[in-house]
Amino acid sequence: MTQPTRITALPRHRDAGRRLNVVAGGAGFIGSHLCRALLDRGEGVLCIDSLQTARPSNLAALTGHPGFSFVRHDITAPLPASVLAEVPRIHRVWNLACAASPPLYQMDPEHTMLTNVVGTNHLLRLAERAGARFLLTSTSEVYGDPEVHPQPEEYRGHVSCTGPRACYDEGKRAAESLVFDYGRAGRAQVRVARIFNTYGPNMDPGDGRVVSNLICQALRGEALTIYGDGTQTRSFCYVADLVAGLLALMEAEFDGMQPVNLGNAAEITVRELLDQVVALSGTQARVVHRPIPVDDPRRRRPDLDRAAQLLGWAPRVPLSEGLAQTWAWFAAELQGELKARPAQAAE
């Protein structure tokens, strides 16, 4: 659904001579960290977000900055005049706008698909008009339930185009096609990041991702949920590392006509992740098993050779350290709620 458009903070970056970045999805988990990093570099940020899945507090933390402005807008609709008016100043266009958690992106699959295809096209046209470089945040989901392990960018994937994840997986694959078509035609300089599982502060406690679920459940004294038997694997990247990778990719001097995996290659099972969260909590926890979601990938781990070669980038934060930071952030975030109701005794 299209949201009303408004600018809540005046674009004061106009006078500051800052390079202007349009960040679609800038109020989301990764987007909010990217906005902060760009502002810290002295650049201007025009954030476009529908606030459909973003945390308002992510935005509140940015709105006081003189280089930051915000337009509430759903990118499936043509971009509003307030954004087009900034074309002469726009230097970079970042597309991070899409619900990324399976339960959330499956809630309105039509909208998820259109966000990726129609929304990406609107932003590509903006980049073309502005002569700006464009970066799409694609996903490891383009590899589906992979038959090749770890996944290099050359792997074409094993994706169901009819299942409940297709709106996201196929939406991102179509978005990549569009981006590379613009690049091939010389309509914009393009970059495509394939983001693997990422975690850290600013995740939404209600997002439904495994890291946020397990930490929030442990903090609340609830049973920890494992989908399936917990032997499926993922490789978790701390958000600060991921943002450093995005910045390096956007600025890397190459033709941009190949996607680049960004993530962390340290692969663990969901069960092992749960054990690490339990260790952080310092208490025993009850574990409940839920059915494995349809098309849930069995294994996932990025091949990061291309990122290392093209960007000179590699993740640095080990899972133990990142999880401890994330635990501390969620503990502070849920503090009010936890004070209001005594934690349930773990059964």
Nearer to ligand UDP, 128 or 296 (CB): 296
Residue 262 within binding range of ligand UDP, rule CB under 6 A: no
Residues 314-343, interacting with ligand UDP (CB under 6 A): none
226 is a contact residue toward ligand UDP (CB under 6 A)? yes
What is the spatial distance between Cα 179 and Cα 137, in angstroms, rounded to a whole number? 11
Amino acid at site 136: L
What is the nearest approach in angstroms of ligand UDP to the Cβ of residue 318?
19
Is 168 among the residues known to form the active site? yes
Q: Is 227 in the site for ligand UDP (CB under 6 A)?
A: yes
Min dist. Cβ of residue 296 to ligand UDP (A): 5
- 13-21, 52-60, 209-217, 312-320 -> range binding ligand UDP (CB under 6 A): 209-217
Query: Can you tell me whether residue 340 is helix, strand or coil?
Result: helix
Q: Which residue has the tokens 């208490």?
A: 283
Least spacing, CB of residue 234 vs ligand UDP, in Å: 5
Amino acid identity for residue 14 in this structure: R
Give the span between the Cα atoms of 102 and 19, in whole angstroms.
35
Instruction: Name the active-site residue from 168, 182, 199, 238.
Output: 168
Q: Residue 288 Cβ, how far from ligand UDP at the closest point, in Å?
A: 10
Instruction: Kindly write out the interface string for residues 88-127 of this chain, putting x where it contacts ligand UDP by CB under 6 A and - elsewhere.
Output: -------------xx-------------------------
Residue 61 corresponds to which tokens in the numbers above?
């933390």
The angle formed by the CA atoms of residues 228, 297 and 318, to the nearest 5 degrees, is 90
The residues with which 133 forms a beta bridge, in sequence order, are: 92
Q: The dihedral of CA 265, 268, 270, 275: what is its sign?
A: negative
- CB nearer ligand UDP, residue 141 or residue 176: 141
Query: By CB under 6 A, which span of 5-13, 225-233, 247-255, 325-333 interacts with ligand UDP?
Result: 225-233
Q: Are 194 and 306 in contact (CB under 8 A)?
A: no
Based on C-alpha coordinates, what's the Rg of the chain?
A: 20
- Whether omega for the bond prior to residue 56 falls within 30 degrees of 0, making it cis, is no
Residue among 181 and 347 whose Cβ is closer to ligand UDP:
347
Q: Does 26 bind ligand UDP (CB under 6 A)?
A: no
Contact of 182 with 188, CB cutoff 8 Å: yes
Q: How many CA atoms lie within 13 A of 289 on its CB side?
A: 7
- Shortest separation between residue 212's beta carbon and ligand UDP, angstroms: 8
146 is a site residue for ligand UDP (CB under 6 A):
no
Considering only residues 225, 258, 276, 325, which one is a binding residue for ligand UDP as defined by CB under 6 A? Answer: 225
Handedness of CA 211, 216, 219, 221 (dihedral sign): negative
* Active site residue ranges: 168
Site for ligand UDP, rule CB under 6 A: 101-102, 197, 209-210, 213, 225-227, 232, 234, 270, 292-293, 296
